Structure 1
Amino acid sequence: MYLYLYFLSSASYVVMMNLALSDGSFSLTLPLRLAYYFRGGVWDFPDWLCRLCVYGFYLNLYTSILFLTLLSVLRWLAVNHPLRHRDLVTPPRTLLVCLGVWLFVGVSSVPFLFNNGVTDRAGSLRCFEPSSPSWGRLLILNYVALAFGFLLPFLTIIVCYSRIVCHLTSRFDVHGGARRCNRRRSVRLVAMVTATFLLCFLPYHVIRTLHLHAVCGGWDCEVTVALQRAVVVTLCLAASNSVVNPLLYYYATGTFRGHMRDAHLSLRRSKRPQVTLVSRKNTNA
């Protein structure tokens, strides 16, 4: 019954349900992180839980980015190419793409399950701190994730939303006041989504890259410690995306659902003259 209702929903809802699943699964690991930091950075749980928390963070981070990117592509098709969206985008196809995202990110993040989980630092058991031999491998994984998990999705989002904005703003003076207001709300929504993406994900990837270079390159100790603290702050910003997503896309569904109705009505109106013309020919015959 659940899968039946799942397939009946729109393609955007399929993506948002997967996004909600990603955010919900990550939130299950937050109590362990809170307990760790409230105890002054001492890990009192099993080693496998530490590895699972690290794996869950990266799984949520990059599935969220890719699902947000997929949503931007779907909305670009819905607003700019409604005919292609209607013929090409279906819930079953979208579900297959989402499963591909889960598989790609899940397999790519597997090294974090086999990395050292709990490490001994000055007699205290620490988590979320790789051992020394792992830093070089993490630097390589960082650049792979930076290219395919952030830069490419970011460019895709920018291109899709910029074309949506151009399409909507160019039609401000064509439609009436209600539609004009709806399109202005969409432009503001596009700005909100882009700003959220930049605020949550950009600082973390930049600071993380600098910190890894500082550790592997033997930078000054004070700089390395400052970057390490900055990584914790930007990591919180990245994790806060799971809180922002439900609010942002609850607002988004109504706006883009309105555009889908407008596109559907315009398609029906464009077909009416052809139908009436055929009927007149039949009556004349």
Structure 2
Amino acid sequence: MKRVSYTSRPSYALRYSLTTAINKSLCYHDDDAFKYRAYTATYLLIFPVAFLCNMAALLVFFIQRARRSSASCVVMTNLALSDASFSLTLPLRLAYYFRGGVWDFPDWLCRLCVYGFYVNLYTSILFLTLLSVLRWLAVTHPLRHRTLATPPRALLVCLGIWLFVGATSANFLWSGVVHRGGSPRCFEPSGPDWKPLLKFNYVGVTFGFLLPFLTINCCYIQIIRRLTTTNTALGNSNHNRTSRLRNRRRPVHLVGMVTVTFVVCFFPYHVIRSLHLHAIDGKWSCEVIVALQRAVVITLCLAASNSVVNPLLYYYSTRTFRASMKGAHNSLLSARRSSFRSGVHLARIKKT
């Protein structure tokens, strides 16, 4: 009886393991339809609002600087500049998703868009943290705030933040165009080794989220404690002191809004992103990887929306910003009225 040799054929276990490995390497790419729809809808809403609001904020801050500059104004100007710069990359992202994931632009633009997202993300976090520290200093140490929190020093700190985030995010400049499915793709990892990306993720989570978040919470607690003790010491007999205390409570609104921004925009993204990278590196089941991939898409949309939330923070937490916005609105209305009256006057002259 002739014995049949199966050495030239792969065993069933080997074929199964190869198929499983291939499926796991591709399963986080097979949910493109959900990803493209979510990003397209989000960026269509974010782009006009973020661009117009942050450009208007930059104009208001420029007007304030010509009249009266402050350290908080300098920090908010840099924050608005970061958000406005990020909004300029959104049309390229929209064109990519409208094309169904085909990148028709140069490779350096792809790298710049990826780099710009993370620079905006972490500069926003650090600028918001700096704002909270300035408000904490103004409430708890007002004399030191006057001497330390000067506009030139605030500008130097902001430049340091730009340099620090720009240098530490330079790794994302290597994430350029990759080819998948016969088409050039952008915003996708290029290599199969996820361990370096996982380590880099934890550096970003530690220094770009956890430490700033703890700093903001400490500032918030100290501000509330100081205002509570001051309110108890002053009592309610002196109207001037009560009104002064009411003015000093405005920092609570700003730090509170910053904390809400962290919880809504930044906290979910960093948690889900870490879990997703662990799932891919640990070769978890494809169902879990795809579910986490969808969660990353949703939380990334929340993180990108911080460029829309920040102008609300300027408006509702800064009295001078509201006054400048109202002044600009009134001047625009008066200009329209004067132009309308001059047009009516010219029409009457032509009739006569």
Matches within 5 A, 1:99-248: 99-115=159-175, 117-172=176-231, 174=235, 176=239, 178-179=243-244, 181-182=246-247, 186-248=251-313
Alpha-carbon distance in 1 for matches of 2:209, 2:106: 32
Q: Give a deviation string over 1:35-61, Cα, whole Å, max 9, x none.
A: 222222222222111111000000000
Say which is worse superposed, 241-250 or 5-14, in terms of deviation: 5-14
Contact 2:273/2:296 (CA < 8 Å) preserved in 1? yes
Rate the CA distance shift 1:172–1:37 in 2: closer, same or farther, 3 A.
Answer: farther
Contact 1:139/1:209 (CA < 8 Å) preserved in 2? yes
Contact 2:250/2:317 (CA < 8 Å) preserved in 1? no
Alpha-carbon distance in 2 for matches of 1:149, 1:215: 23
Rate the CA distance shift 1:14–1:153 in 2: closer, same or farther, 3 A.
Answer: same
Indicate whether 1:36 and 2:92 are aligned.
Answer: no
Contact 2:216/2:255 (CA < 8 Å) preserved in 1? no
SS at structure 2 position matched to 1:144? helix
SS at structure 1 position matched to 2:230? coil
Counterpart position of 2:76: 16
Contact 2:132/2:254 (CA < 8 Å) preserved in 1? no
Indicate whether 1:66 and 2:131 are aligned.
Answer: no
Q: Which amino acid aligns with 1:205?
A: H
| TM-score, normalisation: structure 1 | 0.82
Cα distance, 1:193 vs structure 2: 2.2
Q: Give a deviation string over 1:184-241, Cα, whole Å, max 9, x none.
A: 6554443332111110000000011011111111111111111112111111111110
Alpha-carbon distance in 2 for matches of 1:143, 1:35: 31
Q: Which amino acid aligns with 1:92?
A: P
Say which is worse superposed, 233-242 or 188-197, in terms of deviation: 188-197
Matches within 5 A, 1:263-282: none
Rate the CA distance shift 1:153–1:256 in 2: closer, same or farther, 3 A.
Answer: farther
Q: Which amino acid aligns with 1:21?
A: L
Contact 1:7/1:92 (CA < 8 Å) preserved in 2? no
Contact 1:9/1:91 (CA < 8 Å) preserved in 2? yes
Alpha-carbon distance in 2 for matches of 1:65, 1:19: 9
Alpha-carbon distance in 2 for matches of 1:55, 1:7: 35
Alpha-carbon distance in 1 for matches of 2:217, 2:265: 15
Q: Which amino acid aligns with 1:150?
A: F
Residue in structure 1 matching 2:155, options 77, 95, 116: 95
Unaligned runs of 5+ in 1: 258-285
| TM-score, normalisation: structure 2 | 0.67
Contact 2:122/2:208 (CA < 8 Å) preserved in 1? yes
Alpha-carbon distance in 2 for matches of 1:104, 1:220: 37
Contact 2:177/2:185 (CA < 8 Å) preserved in 1? yes
Count of residue correspondences = 254
C-alpha RMSD of matched pairs (Å): 2.4
Alpha-carbon distance in 2 for matches of 1:84, 1:185: 19
Unaligned runs of 5+ in 2: 1-61, 323-352
Contact 1:23/1:242 (CA < 8 Å) preserved in 2? yes
